[in-house]
Amino acid sequence: TAASHGQSRPFYLTTAIAYPNGAPHIGHAYEYISADTLARFKRLDGFDVRFLTGTDVHGQKMQQTAEAEGIPTDELANRNSDQFQALQERLGSSFDRFIRTSDADHQRASEAIWQRMADAGDIYLDKYSGWYDVRDEAFYAEADTSTDDAGNRVATDTGHKLTWTEEETYFFRLSAFQDRLIELYESHPEFIGPDVRRNEVLSFVKGGLNDLSISRTTFDWGVPVPGHPDHVMYVWVDALTNYLTGVGFPDDDATMRRYWPADLHIIGKDIIRFHCVYWPAFLLSAGIELPKRVFAHGFLFNKGEKMSKSVGNVVDPQALIDEYGLDPVRYFFLREVSYGQDGSYSTDAIVSRINADLANEFGNLAQRTLSMIVKYFDGAVPQPAEYTADDAALLARADGLLEQMRGHFDDQAIHLGIEVLWSTLAETNRYISAQEPWKLSKTDLERTGTVLYVCAEVVRIVALLAQPVMPTSCATLLDLLVVDPDAREFTATATRLAPGTALPKPSPVFPRYEA
Ligand code: ME8
């Protein structure tokens, strides 16, 4: 068998940690599904994957939401964090740790990074006065604000209402990092993906950086600043540090050495600046290696409209799974939306993907192939005779899929990786229609066996490679093909089904959706 690609090399990936100020929505589910698929892909490709996710419990927004609900902030954080964790579990997410920034080891990591930045001379005390967006937990320069129709001061890019803030805070010398950041983006163009985001960040940083206020004194829901407990850290300082906590910083050197720097931070496009400007600057200051790549996915819209409680189009991800099943929902979002771009979803689009791509293209091919093997060969995998040019071409195409998928997945082009699988399924459906094994069976059983063998091989290889997207359905399909449950890593694509293997009577893995 072929050597595994990863050869147990470490691969550390993370999601953003969500604010648990409400219930999780489809946008969160989308991020989890996509990151889990990337994690599973790497694991099946032989990497030693560590996958971190969790919740970001601190900040003014959490405190304000709790006050509005009349409950203690930690109670709000725990209750909703439980919901985020339950969603991850429902989505079948293969995370290794669900971190909450209230965890004790996280406080320790946040203090340690702060201390290192302070020791480097990059933190000083001053007075902050300016505009603050509580919803995004972000500071705004005067020039980036405007006045809305009602006379409120709002952030020009998001339209969010701003509050005027004046307090004594610690500042981080962000302005001193401009040149080093530009050098980073230019010498490591792969640091930010997709490219459009990199260009955005580059022009933002070229425009000049202000020092960043990194502590707050007007509320106390956060990590206390070491030696200055009247200050809590600005929520983004402790939030970003979760990625280090997740690999044992600062006490567990062995884990840190194995998994840091992170290979991939998966985030949404609205938090690029925090991850691609602030985060590398904090790390440079603290003398910690930089992550290898930050990839920003797009936003999801319901029928092209922004999801909002007032429009009444907020869809609960659990309800979608109840209706369509987990694997079809995972497949739908990953196939329908070009990863890195915004995307839209609707019930029509989901149903059409389920029926066309899953039931017809994949399910039907598998069901026809397997049931003909049962019917004409008594359930034993036929021995292929000599291959025709068409047979050989199709097998060669299936054998090339893994390499193509690696290329796409290394760029986080998940949708393109899926597309190469489905175009091979389409080709195989054309092949089976042209070969007509159901007719051949009457005249040439040997040739029938060869055609069914080729089809079964394509189904097996695609089922192995589609596991990261649809773990449960692919496992069922691989069971029907009697593929050893302990040999389902991608290296298994390089072997062949053993002729003579007894297959069970198949039942459809991808049923049509009927409302
Ligand atoms: O930003 N479509 O938390 P968050 C797709 N705590 N993705 C979406 C989305 C949508 N409609 N809405 C949100 C935070 N997201 C911080 C992160 S990381 C150190 C701290 C994505 O709950 C969003 O882009 O507002 C982000 O990646 C994630 O959901 C959590 O968002």
C-alpha 445, offset from chain centre: 47
Q: Where does the pLDDT of residue 309 fall: very low under 50, low under 70, confident under 90, or very high at 90 and above?
A: low
Per-residue model confidence (pLDDT) at position 1: 41
Among 299, 320, 333, 336, the mutation site with the greatest number of ligand 1 atoms within 8 A of its Cβ is 299
Residue with tokens 């489809």: 26
CA-nearest residue, atom 29 of ligand 1: 28
Average pLDDT over residues 80-96: 98
Summarised one tens digit per residue, pLDDT across range 169-192 is: 999 999 999 999 999 999 999 999
Q: Is 267 close to ligand 1, i.e. is its CB under 6 Å away? A: yes
Q: Strand 163-172 to strand 212-213: parallel, antiparallel, or no bridges (unpaired)?
A: antiparallel
Kindly provide the ipTM of the predicted complex, given to two decimals: 0.99
Average pLDDT, the chain: 96
Per-residue confidence (pLDDT) for residue 315, from 0 to 100: 81
Give the gyration radius of the chain's Cα atoms.
26
Is residue 387 classed as helix, strand or coil in its secondary structure?
Answer: coil
Q: Which residues contact 474 (CB under 8 A, 6 or more apart)?
A: 463, 464, 466, 467
Nearest to 99 by CA among 256, 265, 243, 221: 243
- Residue 436: pLDDT band with limits 50, 70, 90: very high
Q: What region, left, alpha or beta, does residue 399 occupy, with left being phi > 0 and alpha being psi -120 to 50 degrees?
A: alpha
Model confidence pLDDT, tens digit, residues 330-374: 999 999 999 999 999 999 999 999 999 999 999 999 999 999 999
User: If pLDDT is split at 50, 70 and 90, which confidence band does 4 have?
Assistant: confident
Query: Mind listing the pLDDT tens digit for each residue in 207-254?
Result: 999 999 999 999 999 999 999 999 999 999 999 999 999 999 999 999
pLDDT at 5: 85
Coil, helix or strand for 1? coil
Residue 28 Cβ contacting ligand 1 at under 6 Å: yes
CA of 18 to the centre of ligand 1 (A): 6
d(CA 57, CA 160): 21
Determine the average pLDDT of the residues in 38-48: 98
Element (H, E) at 229: strand 228-233
Q: Which two tokens stand for residue 71?
A: 């409950």
DSSP for 236-292 reads HHHHHHHHHHTTTTTT-HHHHHHHPSPSEEEEEGGGHHIIIIIHHHHHHHHT-PPPS
Report the separation in Å between the CA atom of 94 and the middle of ligand 1, taken as the mean of its atom positions.
19
Q: For 17-67, give the secondary structure using H, E and C.
A: CECCCCCCCHHHHHHHHHHHHHHHHHHHCCCEEEEEEEECCCCHHHHHHHH
pLDDT tens sequence across 132-146: 999 999 999 899 999
Q: Strand pairing partners for 216?
A: 232
Considering only CA atoms, which of 143, 145, 23 is closest in space to residue 79? Answer: 23
- Closest to 300 (Cα-Cα) out of 17, 6, 24, 493: 24
The one-character DSSP state at 6 is S
Confidence of residue 3 (pLDDT cuts 50, 70, 90): low
Q: Is the dihedral of CA 153, 159, 163, 169 positive or negative?
A: negative
If one compares 4 and 39, the residue with the highest pLDDT of the two is 39
For ligand 1, is residue 239 a contact (CB within 6 Å)?
A: yes
pLDDT score of 313 more than 80: no
* Stretch 264-276: mean pLDDT: 98
Most ligand 1 atoms within 8 A of CB, residue of 14, 15, 19, 21 to mutate: 19
User: SS3 for 365?
Assistant: helix
Query: Looking at ligand 1, which residue's alpha carbon is closest to its atom 11?
Result: 27
pLDDT tens for 493-502 read: 999 999 999 9
Amino acid 492: pLDDT: 97
Query: 310 pLDDT band (50/70/90 cuts)?
Result: low
Residue of the CA atom closest to atom 10 of ligand 1: 27
Q: Residue 515's pLDDT is what? A: 83
Q: How far apart are CA 50 and CA 94, in angstroms?
A: 9
**Distance between CA atoms of 480 and 282, rounded to whole angstroms?**
51
pTM of the model: 0.96
In this prediction, residue 306 carries a pLDDT of: 72
User: For ligand 1, is residue 240 a contact (CB within 6 Å)?
Assistant: yes
The pLDDT tens digits for 112-164 are 999 999 999 999 999 999 999 999 999 998 999 999 999 999 999 999 999 99
Please work out whether the CB of residue 272 comes within 6 Å of at least one atom of ligand 1.
no
Cβ proximity of 178 and 280 under 8 Å? no
The verdict on the CB of residue 27 being under 6 Å from ligand 1 is: yes
Closest CA to ligand 1's atom 21? 268
Length in residues, the chain: 515
CB 455 within 8 A of CB 492: no
pLDDT > 90 in the chain, percent: 95
Task: Indicate whether residue 265 lines ligand 1 (CB < 6 A).
Answer: no
